[in-house]
Structure 1
């Protein structure tokens, strides 16, 4: 029971900066951030992404500098996403299994530069398929679950052999976490983590990302038969429960800001680390508002990231990781 005013003045603890810091219920630090980076072919390439101002595609030889920057800023992990060239995209996505593909080269470059830096890799076939889907497609347009899972296991093992620390299946195929976990254990990769995109919604906020990885122009149809309906929340809890039971070490909710309620529900229900992805559309919205003069960028970035932590996140994948780390540093 709280005493009444004026015996209690809730503003007392807000008067001074030291007191606000002392009474903060939620904290945010660079250690809470994962930095997504887009990788492209070539050498010496820094290719600006039109729909994501301030974010570039980097060639593999530019990754050492990014790794060094991450370590200097206290960012513990980088997430890699490839922009696969059109001539390497096929119906079966076989480039995902190439031990010298762009992602495998990038993993090795990061580990050569900073062996102690965590490397997270996305597992899905959309960067490699000519139809732009996360799974293999039947002639009638259906996405085939079980045969896709077999390829995803091969993709995961390919990335683990290259040195990946976290396998992050984003495909939303049923049963893929159990199959990937069995594959990793079978080849002795018992310390490789799985961060499952457990509640990944069929969202309107992915457009700039698809531009960044070059899959948008290839996508035939939509992904509503495997990504979640934005109307559903209880279904997200079922998805998370399945992925934990199948061997996920942590789970992810994607997108982030429109789904803070899902993050809180997952955190309250399950005793596993929960991550969110502040996706490309969320980033683009903030950048557009800043460019229009209606938001102060630094404050807006930190406030959104703190919101993820307050909702229950252990960490956040965000393109603002370097900026936020500098602001927090």
Structure 2
């Protein structure tokens, strides 16, 4: 299911760059609305300096994820003055230029070297999943021996591709970045589950009954689901299922289903040339008129106008949705 969530939100290609810093150095990363960013420490140590909390010491292998494009800074020391160099690795133009390469000369004046892997995912805020909204502004995943081996392996592969681009790197890097984002989210949700204080989506994704219902909706959004059939998928009776779903997700099951269908439809309209009737059918509407009415209630415009207002689209006959 996490892969579906990422697929509907992300727009364009994710970007990343490997940057070498030589002390003294300090880099301010401005807020970037409509994006999710990350910092990974390939060689350290260094310091994360959030705008409103105390500095955090980072070590080799640490991962920092900023799901809401929050501003922050990195530095060799909390006492190093922060500057905003001409090339900001959180800027889309910077990441486009250095999408598959190590940034040229090390930044700094020759002191101890730190190496970071920075990057950003551009998100369509109109299709932001509540799962992402539920995340804190900053997630720090410290490196622990034996913890999250898949995440560490993906970081190592990505760093190797960026340090020494070869045939196929342009295709490998975006795939690794998508994999990386999924592993970051999985690691955070796993930590919330083991902490015993998970709430909202973190609790929902660790509830087998609610997860089963969500997977069913994501696997086949066009199916004529009812609260009763979703409760059956969850292995619960109707009323207890509806209460549990609403408590954890924040809205009733069929409200979430409608939202998910409209989110899928919005992506299909922007990224495919499928006829409106085909889009309506793929999200569970037998009538194009009923689909258009539901879509306009959600987005404020008719499906045809929404499609015309979007960026250039790739011709795609169908978008598949998998429950993973």
Same fold (TM over 0.5): no
TM-score for the superposition, normalised by structure 1: 0.28
How high is the TM-score relative to the length of structure 2?
Answer: 0.28
Please tell me whether Structure 1 or Structure 2 has the larger radius of gyration of its CA atoms: 2
